[in-house]
Amino acid sequence: MNARVTIATLSKQIITEADAYRHLEGMRWSGAPVCAHCDGTDVYLIPPANGVSRKTAAGKMSERRVWKCRECKRQFSVLTGTIMHATKISVRTWVLVIFDMCASKNGISAREVERRYGVSARSAWHMLHRIRHAMANHGSDTMVGLLVADETWIGGDPKNDHHYKPQPKPEVFQPGSIRPNQHTDKTPVLCLINAETGEARSAVVADVTGKTLRKAIAQNANIAASHLMTDESSSYKAFSSEWLSHQSVNHSKGEYVRGNVSTNMAENFFSQLKRSIDGTHHHVSKEHLSRYLGEFDFRYTTCKLPDVERMAILGHRLEGRLSYKRVKASN
């Protein structure tokens, strides 16, 4: 596919549902269909009787492309076992929305999808969360190399809340406890970026103490085999000896770059994240913030790739179902 594909050219290439199925098959299988039930490769396409569409169990005509596995004898489609499993929304709409998500630097809101594609607000909201679920890293290998770590707080200023009540601050700071400036209703977020590969991984954390940060970093990086760059936060000093090396810059003294040491990559990530949340989504709840972080991690990691290549990478991550009930349960 041409690297200069846009939403306009893509919509011309995908006119019918059959076209959308073929496009999605190319994204997910790259020309080598695999059985969704047993991972067998000895499969064949079941052509519809009239060559165009087939009648569903409900008596409606559908252009759904159905495959059958010679090994397990079961039928499947490119949607089986993916985030689009059993969807009632057209596959063409799915493909176009996925492209929008991959191509929009600031993301796209559910209300925008509702207006552009004529789906209900609830369906649009569920679609985007399922795409974010696919974008997130699930069981990926741990990061190794030169890593940049930083943390920020997401959310509005608690003082703007009509029911705001100042929380008491401890008069004396006890080592290992939460610092006075950490008493806030905002949600702390940790970002870890591989300065060599550009891969970003971020996570919602309970607080920014050394114990919490170490646990979150250990889930994503091989501490003993990596180098770390941070700001002057004392939280990282609690486990700085576990790294191959730990260097920091002192922001409080106006030091942001010292030789090759800097946290600018993480600062840039947070800058884009916050602008997008404020301008596109306006508000993101703490319960769903982790999925939005997965979305921005994916786009940051693949920022140097053309939109069509970013979409192709996402095509290999579509496995896994995320029901509406499960998404609502996180509220």
pTM given for the model = 0.88
pLDDT score of 180: 45
pLDDT score of 160: 74
Confidence tier at 1 by pLDDT (50, 70, 90):
very low
Where do the domains of the chain lie?
Answer: 7-135+317-329, 146-284
CATH class of residue range 146-284: alpha beta
Confidence tier at 329 by pLDDT (50, 70, 90):
confident
pLDDT score of 48: 85
Q: List the 200-204 sheet strands across, edge first.
A: 200-204, 187-194, 146-154, 227-230, 245-248
Dihedral of alpha carbons 20, 23, 28, 31, sign: positive
Q: Where are the alpha helices (DSSP H) in 185-263?
A: 210-218
Q: What's the per-residue H, E or C state across 1-23? A: CCCCCCHHHHHHHCCCHHHHHHH
123 contacts: CB under 8 Å, gap ≥ 6: 89
Give the three-class secondary structure for 139: coil
Q: Is the pLDDT of residue 174 over 90?
A: no
Q: Is the pLDDT of residue 323 over 90?
A: no
Confidence tier at 57 by pLDDT (50, 70, 90):
confident
pLDDT score of 164: 73
Residues 24, 16 contacting (CB under 8 angstroms): no
| C-alpha closest to that of 276 among 301, 290, 293 | 293
| Tokens of residue 263, six digits | 């946290």
Per-residue model confidence as pLDDT tens digits over 270-311 = 999 999 999 999 989 999 999 999 999 999 999 999 999 999
pLDDT score of 2: 46
pLDDT score of 321: 83
Per-residue model confidence as pLDDT tens digits over 133-158 = 999 976 678 999 999 999 999 987 77
Q: What's the per-residue H, E or C state across 248-309? A: ECCHHHCCCEECCEECHHHHHHHHHHHHHHHHHHCCCCCCCHHHHHHHHHHHHHCCCCCHHH
Per-residue model confidence as pLDDT tens digits over 251-276 = 999 999 999 999 999 999 999 999 99
pLDDT score of 214: 96
